[in-house]
Amino acid sequence: MTTVQTVTGPIDSSELGRTLVHEHVFVLNTEYNQNYQDDWDEEERIRDAVEKLTELKGLGIDSIMDPTVLGLGRYIPRIQRIAAQVDLQIVVATGLYTYNDVPHQFEHRGPGLLVDMPEPLTEMFVKDVQEGIAGTGVRAGILKCAIELAGLTPGVERVMRAVGQAHVQTGAPITVHTNPANESGLVAQRVLEEEGVDLSKVIIGHSGDTNDVDYLCRLADAGSMLGMDRFGLDLFNPMQERVGTIIELVRRGYVEHVTLAHDANCFIDYFSADAKAHAAPNWHFRHISEDVIPALLEGGLTEADVETILVDNPPPRAGGVEDARRPGGGAAGRVSPCGGPCTSSSRCARA
């Protein structure tokens, strides 16, 4: 039995059901919101989110993992109000979202810095997982960091190592925002492995932005889950290409490494709702249920494959706190038919 922390309390991992591993309720900047969003209506935004998430539940999705962390506008009291009104389960995250530097709040505090002290980021992340976030009692169920085209900058590396250390202390799974264009998922795996992370508990996020199946297999062979998690962002990779890549991964025996999501949101302050709908008309919570799953089935996946992807693969089930702490827990150490560290029990691509 693995316990998963949701906004409304702990549940057994078997209760998560069909899970999208990367969806945001809100993406915003609090300072921008407080100074420039004159039209912000808190009650209307909550009503809207409740409506969209209720619709998602009606389309057969039981849970979402919301990797909205520092840098993306995490505010748990607002999420609590929404979670109380929807049947859908929400797992929230801790971590820090930066492509370059750490925020100034951490610039001078940490090992070897002006204020020489243990890494405050690690302490924050561990507290969020073990005690709860900002006095709400809501515990983070997943850790998050990012590595983009700028690569492993000092700030990105500091956050990533803190996330890795928090994983080692808590067993919480990790999701990493990566960019396949510079294969930054491989860098994330190296750094996290150096920190002692069990790579089978790591989702390499935004892997679905590429159709380079060999790159994806390298990530999976190291044990990680692949975040095929931007369905609807056709401007980065069209749906049919994303679907074709998943079909090829499954054909090669990697069904146990595939996870799904849209990386969508109920509200984002990057652009207006109209501009969002114009630029990415399919970028909404209905797309996977209405379009993607039918296309996967038509392309040859079985209903059982889809259940594996949606129900079995999301990482709280692949190994939660208890699993990670159990000696020999997780998939690390298993050897695939190709002799690599692949965790898949299905047929191996290289066998």
State the nearest-atom distance from the C-beta of 142 to Zn ion, in Å: 12
User: Residue 28 or 349: which CB sits closer to Zn ion?
Assistant: 28
Interface with Zn ion, residue 263, by CB under 5 A: yes
State the nearest-atom distance from the C-beta of 347 to Zn ion, in Å: 32
User: Residue 221 or 263: which CB sits closer to Zn ion?
Assistant: 263
User: Residue 25 or 292: which CB sits closer to Zn ion?
Assistant: 25
User: Residue 263 or 305: which CB sits closer to Zn ion?
Assistant: 263
State the nearest-atom distance from the C-beta of 24 to Zn ion, in Å: 6
**Tally of CB atoms within 10 A around 105:** 10
Cβ–Cβ under 8 Å, residues 148 and 179: yes
State the nearest-atom distance from the C-beta of 333 to Zn ion, in Å: 31
Stretch that binds Zn ion, among 82-90, 122-130, 210-218, 260-268 (CB under 5 A): 260-268
Stretch that binds Zn ion, among 45-53, 132-140, 262-270, 336-344 (CB under 5 A): 262-270
* Residue 310 structure tokens: 């949606």
What does the alpha-carbon distance between residue 220 and residue 181 come to, in Å, rounded to a whole number? 17
Q: Is 268 helix (H, G, I), strand (E, B) or coil?
A: strand
User: Residue 206 or 252: which CB sits closer to Zn ion?
Assistant: 206
Stretch that binds Zn ion, among 73-81, 94-102, 152-160, 257-265 (CB under 5 A): 257-265
Q: Is 212 helix (H, G, I), strand (E, B) or coil?
A: coil
* Residue 312 structure tokens: 């079995």
Cβ–Cβ under 8 Å, residues 224 and 204: yes
State the nearest-atom distance from the C-beta of 49 to Zn ion, in Å: 16
Beta bridge partners of 70: 96
State the nearest-atom distance from the C-beta of 230 to Zn ion, in Å: 8
With the C-alpha atoms ordered 343, 224, 229, 241, is the resulting torsion angle positive or negative? negative
Q: Is 20 helix (H, G, I), strand (E, B) or coil?
A: strand
What does the alpha-carbon distance between residue 139 and residue 35 come to, in Å, rounded to a whole number? 29
**Tally of CB atoms within 10 A around 247:** 17
Stretch that binds Zn ion, among 11-19, 81-89, 255-263, 274-282 (CB under 5 A): 255-263
In this structure, which amino acid lies at residue 91?
A: V
Cβ–Cβ under 8 Å, residues 17 and 60: no
What does the alpha-carbon distance between residue 160 and residue 213 come to, in Å, rounded to a whole number? 25
Q: Which H/E stretch holds residue 279? A: helix 273-279
Beta bridge partners of 20: 64
State the nearest-atom distance from the C-beta of 263 to Zn ion, in Å: 4
User: Residue 146 or 246: which CB sits closer to Zn ion?
Assistant: 146
State the nearest-atom distance from the C-beta of 19 to Zn ion, in Å: 15
User: Residue 209 or 256: which CB sits closer to Zn ion?
Assistant: 209
What does the alpha-carbon distance between residue 199 and residue 201 come to, in Å, rounded to a whole number? 5
- Using Cβ positions, the residue closest to Zn ion within the complex turns out to be 263
Total residues contacting Zn ion by CB under 5 A comes to 1
User: Residue 32 or 270: which CB sits closer to Zn ion?
Assistant: 270
State the nearest-atom distance from the C-beta of 327 to Zn ion, in Å: 34
In this structure, which amino acid lies at residue 260?
A: L
With the C-alpha atoms ordered 98, 38, 76, 86, is the resulting torsion angle positive or negative? negative
User: Residue 59 or 268: which CB sits closer to Zn ion?
Assistant: 268
Q: Is 202 helix (H, G, I), strand (E, B) or coil?
A: strand
Q: What residues make contact with Zn ion under the rule CB under 5 A?
A: 263
